[in-house]
Structures are given as structure tokens and as C-alpha cells.
């Protein structure tokens, strides 16, 4: 099976990518006019849309905090996002991902500016092909920036995996299910801080270090694309 995933003779992966090559990344900002901020992010076949509402009055009131805004994140996979229909009810996995994405974004958002309010972030996976949580966190941070919510830095993420004994960047669904390890990483690249780090499977100490380094380089590329998307939106607004 590992030969299918990674061909040592050519050094290429099952889809023809090199180990440190990302899938084509596309981003657009302000895709949903009803939301205060929104973004659509694509990593190859993975397609994620994020929408931000707020800061707004929090309901129920008892959930609010007197010194800062609360961040509510919902990561959700559309029933049509996978090959087999996914039940639209939030699964254990989706609840967990909502939590880790929220914690990653909380590090970036300057929530002290809006006490007693809530900032709602909705992340909807339209098409899943691996790396949805990192695409989700990338889209959510773009949507937050679009909504005008002050942030210490943008958050960008990518997953590193291990297939056929080789570390590979931005793994897709096939590599994720058949590979040996999967490590999603999200960072605030400008400040050089890691805000999300998970690991499924096993990596040696050296592999881990190399994996982080690969992710960091890729995240810097994504970061440039994020900034570009925001600037493009600004220019587009002028034409409207």
C-alpha cells in the first residue's frame, strides 16, 4: 500500500506532488454579503467557507464575560461534503475541532476591546479532501480580518503527514487514511507562534522537528496569499 502512496523511485506522491509541495491554494474574501466578514479557502479539492458575525450582543446573557468578548466557533461539515452522506448533526469530531479552532483563534483576536459581546464564527466544510481543520482556521482568520475585528496576527494552517516513511506536506484524504501520521499545525506567522498543534500517529523526534519546519515554511506561503486576498478585496471594494 505504501508504494501507492509514495513512489521512492520517482520521489513523487500518489497525486504527482513532491513531498514538500502543497496543493493549489485559492482564497477569496467577502464572499457572503450578509455576514460581517467571510472567506472561502480552497486547498486542492478541500473547500471551506467561513462567516463571522459580531461583535454583537450575546444571547443568552449569562454566557458573556465582563472583561472581553467571547468567541463561539462552529466547525461543521456539510452533508454533501464527503463521498458518503454525513449526518448533519454535530459529531464528536466536529465538536472537538470547533474547540481547537476556537482556541487557535482566541490567541489572535484582541477580544478585550469588546466586553460583554460575542463574536460568532461559522466554518462550513463544503467539500472535504483532508486538511479541513487547517483550511477552516485559515478561512476563519481571513473572515475575522474582513469583519474588522482587531487581531494580533492572521492565523494560517497546514497539515504535515508521514506516508511510506516519508514526511509530506498538506496531506489529502487518501494520504490521511492510509498514511502513518498526520500533524495539523496552525501559526501566527508574523509573530512566529504556534496556536494549533495536533498529532495522530507516530513521529520520531527528528521527524517531528522536520515536520514543524516544513509546516512553518508552507504557512509562510499561505500567509502571503492571505494578505494578498485581503488587499484584493480592498481594491475590489473600490470598483463596486
Partner 1 sequence: METQKLELYVQNMDIVVPGDLIGEGELEEYSPYIHVEGRKLFSTVLGIVEIKEGKPRIIPLHTTYIPQVNDLVIGIIVDVGHSYWTVDINSPYEAQLNVSETPLKQVIGTENLRKFLDIGDYVLAKIISFERNKDPLITLKGKDLGKLAEGKVIEFRSSRVVWSILRRKKVIDALEEELGVSVLITSNGRAWIKGVSQEAEDTAILVLKKIDYSPFTKLTPSDISKLISEVKMKGGMK
Applying CB under 8 A, the residues found at the interface with partner 1 are 36-37, 54-57, 66-67, 110, 113-117, 145-154, 188-191, 223, 226-227, 230-231, 233-235, 237-238, 240
Considering the complex, state which of residue 5 and residue 58 has its C-beta at the smaller distance from partner 1.
58
Strand partners for 161? 168, 182
Question: How many DSSP H helices and E strands does the chain contain?
Answer: 5, 12
3-state secondary structure of 210: helix
Considering the complex, state which of residue 165 and residue 190 has its C-beta at the smaller distance from partner 1.
190
CB 202, min distance to partner 1, A: 34
CB 152, min distance to partner 1, A: 5
CB 218, min distance to partner 1, A: 17
From 133, 125, 136, select the one nearest 183 (Cα to Cα).
Answer: 133
Rounded CA gap, 46 and 135, in Å?
A: 8
From 130, 160, 168, select the one nearest 5 (Cα to Cα).
Answer: 168
Checking DSSP bridges between strand 70-77 and strand 117-127, what pairing results, if any? parallel
CB 188, min distance to partner 1, A: 7
Considering the complex, state which of residue 5 and residue 27 has its C-beta at the smaller distance from partner 1.
27
Considering the complex, state which of residue 149 and residue 218 has its C-beta at the smaller distance from partner 1.
149
From 168, 216, 212, 162, select the one nearest 189 (Cα to Cα).
Answer: 216
CB 98, min distance to partner 1, A: 22
Considering the complex, state which of residue 6 and residue 122 has its C-beta at the smaller distance from partner 1.
122
Amino acid at each position: 500500500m505504501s508504494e501507492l502512496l509514495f513512489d521512492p523511485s520517482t520521489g513523487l506522491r500518489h497525486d504527482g506532488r513532491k513531498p514538500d509541495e502543497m496543493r493549489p491554494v485559492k482564497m477569496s474574501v467577502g464572499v457572503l454579503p450578509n455576514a460581517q466578514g467571510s472567506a472561502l479557502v480552497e486547498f486542492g479539492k478541500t473547500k471551506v467557507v467561513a462567516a463571522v458575525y459580531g461583535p454583537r450582543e450575546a444571547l443568552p446573557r449569562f454566557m458573556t464575560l465582563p472583561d472581553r468578548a467571547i468567541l463561539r466557533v462552529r466547525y461543521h461539515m456539510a452533508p454533501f461534503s464527503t463521498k458518503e452522506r454525513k449526518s448533519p448533526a454535530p459529531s464528536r469530531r466536529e465538536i472537538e475541532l470547533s474547540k481547537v479552532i476556537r482556541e487557535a483563534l482566541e490567541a489572535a483576536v484582541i477580544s478585550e476591546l469588546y466586553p460583554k459581546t460575542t463574536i460568532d464564527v461559522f466554518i462550513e466544510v463544503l467539500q472535504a479532501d483532508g486538511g479541513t481543520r487547517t483550511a477552516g482556521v485559515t478561512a476563519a482568520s481571513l473572515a475575522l480580518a474582513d469583519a474588522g475585528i482587531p487581531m494580533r496576527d492572521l492565523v494560517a494552517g497546514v497539515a504535515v503527514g508521514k506516508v511510506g516513511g516519508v514526511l509530506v506536506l498538506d496531506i489529502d484524504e487518501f494520504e490521511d487514511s492510509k498514511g502513518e501520521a498526520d500533524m495539523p499545525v496552525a501559526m501566527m506567522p508574523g509573530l512566529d507562534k504556534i496556536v494549533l498543534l495536533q498529532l495522530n500517529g507516530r513521529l520520531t523526534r527528528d521527524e517531528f522537528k522536520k515536520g514543524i519546519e516544513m509546516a512553518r515554511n508552507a504557512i509562510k506561503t499561505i500567509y502571503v496569499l492571505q494578505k494578498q486576498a485581503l488587499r484584493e478585496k480592498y481594491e475590489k471594494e473600490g470598483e463596486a
